[in-house]
Each structure stands twice: as C-alpha cells, then as structure tokens.
Amino acid sequence: MDISTRTRDRVTILAFAGSLDSNTSPAAQQAVDETLKGGATKVVVDCTALDYISSAGLRVLLGAAKKLGGAGASGGFRLFGLNQTVGEVFDISGFSKILAVFNTEAEALKGF
Amino acid sequence: MHPPAKGGKGGHIVAQMRPSFRMTIGTDPTQVAGVSRAFAAFAEAHKVPAAVRRSVSVALDELLSNSCAYGSAAEVSIDVELQADRLSVTLSDDGKPFNPLDLVAPDTGVPIDQRPIGGLGIHLTRQIMDEVAYQRRAGRNVITLAKLLP
C-alpha cells in the first residue's frame, strides 16, 4: 500500500492506495498517528485508490474517528471516494452510519 | 482418425482444467501477505472480476489473520479454484476444533464512542461471501467459501 499526505487549508488529506488489511494496517496506523501528533484536527481520507479494506483497516479508521470526534457536525474526520467493495464493507460493518462518508473530495472539504 | 468424442462410447472424457492454485503457510502473520499477493496475481491472470477479487481478498485476510492470531494451528493450506459460475476457496488447518462462524456478530448499530474496536472480521466474511461453511474433517478445520461470478 502507498500512503501520501497533503494539506488543503487546515485540512490534512491522507490518501491510501492499494489494500488496507492485516498486512498494511500497521503502516496506515503509523501515518494516522503521525498526522495527529503533528496537530491535525481535521483529517480527510482519500479512498479513491483504495482497492479493498478488511477489519484490520476499519480498526485504524475507527481509532482515528474516535480521536477526531467521529461523524457528528463537530467531528474532524471524513472520507471520500469509496469503491463498491469498500462501500459494501462500510455498510456491513455499520461504518456508513457512524462515519462521515462523501463521494468526492470537493464534497468532503465543503464546510469542513 | 476419429473426431474428438465427448463422453460417447469409446471416447475420452476430457476434464476441463479449471484454473486453481494451492498454498500452504505457517501461522506467522507476515505470511498472510504472501497469500494476498498470490491471490491477486491469480485473479489478474484469470481475469476474475474486480468486485469478486476484492471480496475474496477481504475474506482471506479476515480468516487467515484470525487463524494466526487466535488459532492453535501450525499450518494452513489455501486452495483457490475458479469455476464456471463461482470462485471457490477452501482453507484447511491442523488446529484444535474451532468453528469461527460460531462467533457472534457484533452490534453494528451502537454509537461510535461506545463501540469496541475489532470483532468484525467473521461478520464481514459471512456477509461479503455468497457461501461460507465450516466442517471438522479428518482432524482439520475446513472452511469453504464461494463468491458467485456476476
């Protein structure tokens, strides 16, 4: 998996490319930890190149969401660009209901 | 010269070779990544639809990482076969009798701050696959999975 970070205004965008699974989740966790340690309060995860995610990857996202305040209006964690399989995994696990998921980057950044 | 006969008298029944592969790994978690890579290469070589490949990849990661983390097995074998209408996977290990499908599905409706982290893998596997079954067979735990082709 490849992980890249960029910032737009005061929002940190983390892009995960490839699979987020038991093998790659430690690297993803490290990227999230470093982002939060750097003082980021608003984080968007770009999933447009994310191939699939398993529960190990969901755990990383849930941890970040908890630290950043979840999906509520004041929450600091958003995602966008899920493919069909990642969307299905989000639906099955209930993450679609508890995380702020958007279709595009523009929608994810709007009003954030 | 006779024309090729299909099961007729005196003819040969030629079994259609189905694309398949087999791997056996130990239960060191780093070996799960090798299975993921081998399966991705197999899926690409045989033009498995992306949605099927992704779903099966999720199930493999869940079940194999589960075996490595909690199981008592020393080795796990993975058999993958692409059939006319489905992709079938058989996982077999030599651990103590354990049916992971008995694990209770988590309550996915609870608020985010009250959710325990983890416990989702088996639930995901059951939902994302079309068939999931467990058998204790010849001293091994055998899980069969199938995802129907679109």
Residue B13 lies in a domain: no
Give the mean model confidence (pLDDT) for residues A51-59: 95
pLDDT of residue B85: 97
Number of domains in chain B: 1
The ipTM of this complex is 0.94
* Percent of chain B scoring above 90 in pLDDT: 61
Dihedral sign for Cα atoms in the order B132, A48, A12, A107: negative
Here the CATH number for the domain that contains residue B63 is 3.30.565.10
Parent domain of B98: 20-148
Q: By the CB < 8 Å criterion, does A26 face chain B?
A: no
Which contiguous run of DSSP H or E holds residue A111? Answer: none
In DSSP notation, chain B reads -PPPPSS-TT----PPPPPEEEEEEES-THHHHHHHHHHHHHHHHTT--HHHHHHHHHHHHHHHHHHHHH---SEEEEEEEE-SSEEEEEEEE-SSS--GGGSPPP-TTS-GGGPPS---HHHHHHHHSSEEEEEEETTEEEEEEEEE--
Residue B66 lies in a domain: yes
Tell me the residues of chain A between 64 and 103 that have a Cβ less than 8 Å away from chain B: 65-66, 70-71, 83-85, 88-89, 92-94, 97-99
pLDDT of residue B109: 67
- Which residue of A1, A20, A21 is the best one to mutate when testing the B interface, meaning the one whose CB has the most B CBs within 10 A? A21
Instruction: State the pTM of this model.
Output: 0.88
The domain limits of chain A are 2-107
Between the two ends of chain B, the Cα-to-Cα distance in Å is 40
Closest CA to B95 of B143, B49, B133: B143
Assign a CATH topology to domain A2-107: Transcription Regulator spoIIAA (3.30.750)
pLDDT at B6 over 60: no
